[in-house]
Amino acid sequence: MSTPAYQEIKDFILEQIHRGVWGEGDQVPTEHELAREFGVARMTVNRALRELSAEQVLTRVQGSGTFVARPRYESTLVAIRSISDEIVARGHRHHASVLVLDTVCADETLAAEMQLEVGSLLFHSRLLHAENEQPVQLEERWVRPALAPDYIAQDFTQITPNQYLVRVAPLQRVEYRIEACMPEARVRERLAMAEREPCLVLQRRTWSQGQVASVVHLWHPGSRYRFTGHF
């Protein structure tokens, strides 16, 4: 299935911003210029610019033009903070073990969550985080390669995925949910949990530059972890 013309224009603009060709406050080409470059009607360009404005990637100023917007951050109940920072703040030692670091093809569920075509390539990681040698979090994450092209080249025993992504794909929007559930045997064994102990699971999706940057599932032993937050 071919990509709609307006989406091609959106992708082009996002790529220019991601590569640093256009920075915050820079003016992007006019509707007329983009229509001529892509060989489409101005209404097609107008749709692309309107959608990027709605996604807070661009700002349109009447009579002046369209500009790269200042990043906007949404407050969430759970702060987007690296688990290593949380553990160190408690005066404890953090240790991460990399269990999986590879590239996968998105199935229907992942493709829908990442807003990509089925079969699109994604970076995938699975890490076990420990506090004072006791496992406290199993992290499974999928990342959009276009926003973090060097993801699988990182040493995640030295830097957490969260720390890396915050640096290369600044947070624009967050969606999350927390639930309690009984873990699979694999998760229970990794986290050294009792047979009937429930998990607290945080499922989070983040956006950067108008695109879904990552989807992550964070599993925690119910007896050894709690979520806190404040406004």
Domain ranges in the chain?
5-68, 83-221
DSSP string, 12-52: HHHHHHHTTSS-TTPBPPPHHHHHHHHT--HHHHHHHHHHH
The pLDDT score that the predictor gives to residue 73 is 38
Q: Are 229 and 217 in contact (CB under 8 A)?
A: no
Beta strands in 113-198 (DSSP E): 121-131, 134-143, 173-181
Do 60 and 49 meet the contact criterion of CB atoms below 8 Å apart? yes
What fold characterizes domain 5-68? Arc Repressor Mutant, subunit A (1.10.10)
pLDDT at 70 over 80: no
pLDDT at 77: 37
Mean pLDDT on 196-203: 90
Q: What is the pLDDT of residue 140?
A: 97
Q: Can you give the pLDDT at residue 231?
A: 41
Per-residue pLDDT, 78: 41
> What per-residue confidence (pLDDT) applies to 101?
97
pLDDT at site 227? 65
Pairing of strands 58-61, 65-68: antiparallel
| Residue 182 predicted with pLDDT over 70 | yes
**Half-sphere exposure of 191 toward its Cβ, with a 13 Å CA cutoff?**
29
Right CATH number for 83-221 from 2.30.31.70, 3.90.1170.50, 3.40.50.460, 3.40.1410.10?
3.40.1410.10
Q: What tens digit of pLDDT does each residue of 105-155 get?
A: 999 999 999 999 999 999 999 999 999 999 999 999 999 999 999 999 999
- pLDDT, greater one: 210 or 72: 210
What pLDDT score was predicted for residue 226?
66
pLDDT over 90 (residue 62): no
